Amino acid sequence: MELKKISGKEGRILEVLKEALNISTNKAKELLDNFFVYVNNKVVYISSYKVKKDDFIEVLLFFPKKEKGKILFENDDFLVLDKPPFIDVYELQKIYYKNYKIVHRLDKLTSGLLIFAKNEKIKNEFIDIFKEKKIKKEYRAIVYGKLDKYKKLNFPLDGKTAISYVNPINFNQNYSYLKVNILTGRKHQIRKHLSLIKHPIVKDVIYGPKIIKDKRIKKLPRFMLHAKYLEFSYKGKNFKFNADLPNDFQNALKELELV
């Protein structure tokens, strides 16, 4: 993916993008919503942001599709999906899996394993499995900075216990590739916990830096977080699921010299 450069323009960023790139309002808004627009190295996502003539604008000109993902397993009770990024769980259900019930959530930009139940009763049974911590959840993340030691992160979030276990897989002076296991499942838990220890996930502009100078990070289409592994027992049977790293994640590892 390449960065499109824009200069010598002024006005609201939404209008600048429409004119300079010859795209519709919706497309310009999509670029902003996906954090693909940089002004003087700062991520800009507010449509009304005012650009000056001497500002330097870069745009990751990419319009991701809302894909349905790959079904890894299905039986009479539930299915396990390898969720693609760029689609919200509720939107995914509404478009592709209308007759299924959402058991748990992944962020819009997070890829990986997601469970849908076949009915309300099964959904509630799975919710109990999650609440009782009878499920193993393992993620992969790429973060800023050198993190070279195992860490147990025990920082309450929203007044509730939140525990994450972080193991480095590979690292260099600027970036680290991590395995993260979570005992609890608070909203944005991994993203918040890693930010609290000053190692936010790369391209996470909500919990990480909004000034991005490394072009390799600018070219990433999303923050690099992937739900890789699930293990649980249901109706007396043990289930294990693994989701391969998607292409954008593998490319990020190569670009950031973590493989």
CB 95 within 8 A of CB 66: yes
The per-residue pLDDT for 143 is: 98
pLDDT digits (tens, 9 = 90+) for 43-70: 999 999 999 999 999 999 999 999 999 9
Statement: residue 146 has pLDDT above 90: yes
d(CA 77, CA 59): 44
pLDDT digits (tens, 9 = 90+) for 71-106: 999 999 999 999 999 999 999 999 999 999 999 999
pLDDT, average across residues 180-199? 97
pLDDT digits (tens, 9 = 90+) for 201-251: 999 999 999 999 999 999 999 999 999 999 999 999 999 999 999 999 999
- CA distances (Å), origin 73, targets 85, 116, 189: 19, 11, 26
pLDDT, average across residues 2-22? 96
Domains of the chain, CATH where assigned: 3-60 (3.10.290.10), 70-255 (3.30.2350.10)
Statement: residue 36 has pLDDT above 90: yes
Q: Which residues contact 128 (CB under 8 A, 6 or more apart)?
A: none
Which residue from 81, 111, 121 is spatially nearest to 97, judged by alpha carbons? 81
What's the token pair of residue 248? 């954008």
Calculate the average pLDDT of the chain: 97
Residue 2: pLDDT band (50, 70, 90) is confident
- CA distances (Å), origin 191, targets 15, 102, 208, 255: 32, 22, 9, 21
CB 157 within 8 A of CB 189: yes
Residue 1: pLDDT band (50, 70, 90) is confident
pTM for the full predicted model: 0.96
